[in-house]
Amino acid sequence: MAAPRHFLQFNDFSREEFEYLFARARRIKAQFKSYQQYWPLVDRTLVMIFEKASTRTRLSFEAGMQQLGGSAIYLNTRDSQLGRGEPVEDAAQVISRMSDIVMIRTFEQDIIERFAANSRVPVINGLTNEYHPCQILADIFTYVEMRGSIEGRTVAWIGDSNNVCNTWLQAAEVFDFNVNVSTPPGYEVEAERAGLYGTNHYREFADPMAAARDADLVTTDVWTSMGFEAENEERLRDFEDWQVDAEMMRVAKPDALFMHCLPAHRGEEVAAEVIDGPQSAVWDEAENRLHAQKALLEYLVLGRVTT
């Protein structure tokens, strides 16, 4: 049996594969919007394993699989043997014999890597401490829909160098764009943890306003990610000056977009007038999780299709 393809971090796929996925996502989205039934995954089962909370990821994968004619099963740590110490390798053997594709949201990247190494079916990263590749798949699809190619553009990342930031940095290497990163001292990018090739696609700025200057896209995320709640109070103090506000959007390009993976905290990492303002793309970004991941599910289960 050939080893399955997985999507565990963004640079697992080539730029050409992403271009294919975007073309499929455009088609799948248009079909969905015109109420055309498209059921390529009849009798196929997606298992979704959540070790952290989720609204968008669960909904988009579960609805997406059903819309493709398949079914989705939700497992979480609390109600399954995963929370009682069953080795992840054993869980992978069993779960992958009963399903066609698996999505996992968990803590360390090592957990999903070990699952994938023991899985007979493709595994998708639905967020780990290190990466969130499905988010950036949808975000770049959204950028291209709204503004055209992202190649050569400048993305400003303001805030924590977390899983979403790391994935933007990988995407910059794949698509050849630049990321201006501004984090508070002590929260800088760790290139090795971000899994970068070292191709100089990002620059670090002490001043968030300098990072945002002339950017085509300004983006941020929560100051405290899931799993880091114990640091919340300290982070509220450390990140105080890293809020994306109207003044920051004014120094970016006049047609710059604002993105946020959501959930957002208005008054912390983003001002209400920005996320609820005319440059904000957050609702399209969230919706496109559905369409982009349907293309991903189709690709990983069936390979390339021509329908």
Residue of the chain from 216, 221, 269, 298 that contacts ligand NVA (CB under 6 A)? 221
Are the CB atoms for 138 and 285 separated by under 8 Å? yes
Closest residue by beta carbon to ligand NVA: 225
**Closest distance of CB 163 from ligand NVA, Å:** 5
Helix (H, G, I), strand (E, B) or coil at 181: strand
Taking alpha carbons only, the member of 99, 94, 87 closest to residue 124 is 99
Residues near ligand NVA (CB under 6 A), total: 9
**Closest distance of CB 1 from ligand NVA, Å:** 34
**Closest distance of CB 162 from ligand NVA, Å:** 4
Q: Cα-flanking dihedrals φ and ψ of residue 109, to 5°?
A: -55, -35
Distant-in-sequence, close-in-space partners of 256: CB < 8 Å, separation ≥ 6: 215, 216, 217, 218, 249, 279
Catalytic residue among 100, 139, 216, 221: 221
Q: Lay out the site mask for ligand CP across 249-268 (x = CB under 6 A, - = otherwise).
A: ------------xx------
Q: Does residue 135 carry a catalytic annotation?
A: yes
Of 50-58, 189-197, 242-250, 274-282, which part binds ligand CP (CB under 6 A)?
50-58
- Please identify which residue in the block is written with the tokens 């160098």: 161
Which parts of the chain fold into alpha helices (H)?
15-33, 56-67, 88-97, 109-117, 133-147, 163-175, 208-212, 232-238, 246-251, 272-275, 282-302
Helix (H, G, I), strand (E, B) or coil at 3: coil
Residues 144-183 that bind ligand NVA (CB under 6 A): 162-164
Of 48-56, 93-101, 151-159, 274-282, which part binds ligand CP (CB under 6 A)?
48-56
Active site residue ranges: 105, 132, 135, 221, 261, 289
